[in-house]
């Protein structure tokens, strides 16, 4: 009974809290720029509005144009459900679920890009090409980070890997994962979430032709993905498993907020990079994770 309650609670956290994160980022940006900015709940209003709207679909698109976002959204949600949430815990987990976690994110990527390519538009093509190309580097970095957590904790189950701290390499790992977070969620300096109708976009370019409920699902999924990476980063660095439940909850919330504010600050202080510099940054993130892996390896061996 409690496990069902717990499941519902976690589901609710992911579904209801995720759209708050982009709101926080926007507030931070507005505060740095000295503006008032949109209200924190702006994304909730947008989602509610989109959910009621009708759908316009390209004459070229097949049903996968709508199925894609749905599958991607579910894939992100299931991946998120594998992450433990402090004292609420995570899914029971099994040996090797961490790989399922990474590949569920890949499923989401496949589906959103496939849906984008449905329209035959050059913009969507451009966005998709960038999305899948940068994902090559960020997935390598993510896998390295996960491997270093595995080596550190001696386990291949997400619950156990995230319970301990990342050890001496935590700083490196945090830097690497934070960069991956920025790249995977199409934030500055990889992409600018504020631009529309420019040649410089990744995520926005892919969703140009979506409308109504499918667009709502895509936006909600993107916010869940942001929260997923923030939670992953927080749990990878903090030894939540060794804390009191209440303490762990506060630490987790605090860390996720810190990451979110960090994204906002990065976005306020940095400009978007030229696209040819993005691989260099992602390679750096990958190297951070590689060195974290080495440190974990040395630490674990001793």
Respond yes or no on whether the N-terminal peptide bond of residue 32 is cis (omega within 30° of 0). no
Query: Which range binds another protein by CB under 8 A, 14-22, 121-129, 180-188, 246-254?
Result: 121-129
Of the residues 53, 244, 245, 269, which one makes contact with another protein according to CB under 8 A: 53
Nearest to 248 by CA among 101, 129, 84, 102: 84
Query: Which range binds another protein by CB under 8 A, 22-30, 31-39, 66-74, 238-246?
Result: 66-74
Mapping DSSP to helix (H, G, I), strand (E, B) and coil, where does residue 62 land?
coil
Residue 122 tokens, joined: 């050059």
Task: Name the minimum Å distance from CB 254 to another protein.
Answer: 27
Instruction: Write phi, then psi, for 247 (nearest 5 degrees).
Output: -60, -45
Of the residues 184, 204, 209, 235, which one makes contact with another protein according to CB under 8 A: 209
Residue by residue, what is the 3-state secondary structure of 89-131? CCCCCCCCHHHHHHHHHHHHHHHHHHHHHCCCCHHHHHHHHHH
Instruction: Rule CB under 8 A: say whether 158 interacts with another protein.
Output: no
Instruction: Rule CB under 8 A: say whether 129 interacts with another protein.
Output: yes
Instruction: Rule CB under 8 A: say whether 132 interacts with another protein.
Output: yes
Residues 78-97 that bind another protein (CB under 8 A): 78, 94-96
Of the residues 158, 232, 251, 290, which one makes contact with another protein according to CB under 8 A: 290
**Which of 140, 261 has the CB closer to another protein?**
140
Task: Name the minimum Å distance from CB 86 to another protein.
Answer: 23
Mapping DSSP to helix (H, G, I), strand (E, B) and coil, where does residue 120 land?
coil
Task: Name the minimum Å distance from CB 280 to another protein.
Answer: 6
CA–CA separation, 168 vs 298, rounded Å?
10
């Amino acid at each position: 009974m409690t496990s069902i309650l717990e499941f519902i609670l976690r589901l609710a956290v992911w579904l209801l809290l995720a759209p708050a994160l982009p709101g926080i980022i926007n507030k931070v940006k507005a505060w740095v720029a000295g503006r008032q900015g949109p209200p924190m709940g702006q994304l909730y209003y947008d989602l509610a509005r989109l959910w009621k709207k009708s759908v316009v679909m390209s004459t070229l698109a097949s049903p996968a144009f709508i199925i894609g976002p749905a599958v991607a959204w579910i894939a992100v949600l299931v991946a998120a459900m594998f992450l433990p949430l402090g004292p609420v815990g995570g899914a029971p987990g099994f040996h090797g679920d961490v790989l399922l976690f990474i590949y569920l994110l890949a499923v989401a990527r496949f589906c959103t890009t496939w849906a984008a390519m449905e329209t035959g538009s050059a913009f969507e093509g451009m966005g998709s090409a960038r999305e899948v190309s940068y994902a090559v580097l960020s997935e390598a970095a993510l896998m390295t980070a996960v491997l270093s957590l595995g080596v550190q904790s001696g386990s291949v189950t997400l619950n156990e890997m995230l319970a301990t701290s990342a050890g001496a390499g935590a700083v490196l790992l945090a830097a690497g994962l934070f960069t991956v977070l920025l790249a995977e969620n199409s934030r500055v300096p990889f992409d600018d979430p504020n631009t529309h109708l420019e040649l410089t976009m990744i995520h926005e370019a892919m969703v140009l032709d979506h409308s109504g409920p499918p667009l709502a699902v895509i936006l909600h999924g993107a916010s869940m993905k942001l929260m997923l990476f923030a939670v992953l980063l927080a749990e990878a660095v903090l030894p939540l498993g060794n804390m009191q439940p209440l303490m762990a909850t506060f630490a987790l919330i605090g860390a996720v907020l810190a990451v979110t504010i960090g994204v906002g600050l990065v976005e306020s202080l940095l400009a978007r990079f030229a696209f040819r510099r993005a691989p260099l940054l992602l390679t750096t993130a990958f190297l951070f994770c590689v060195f974290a892996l080495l440190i974990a390896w040395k630490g674990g061996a001793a």
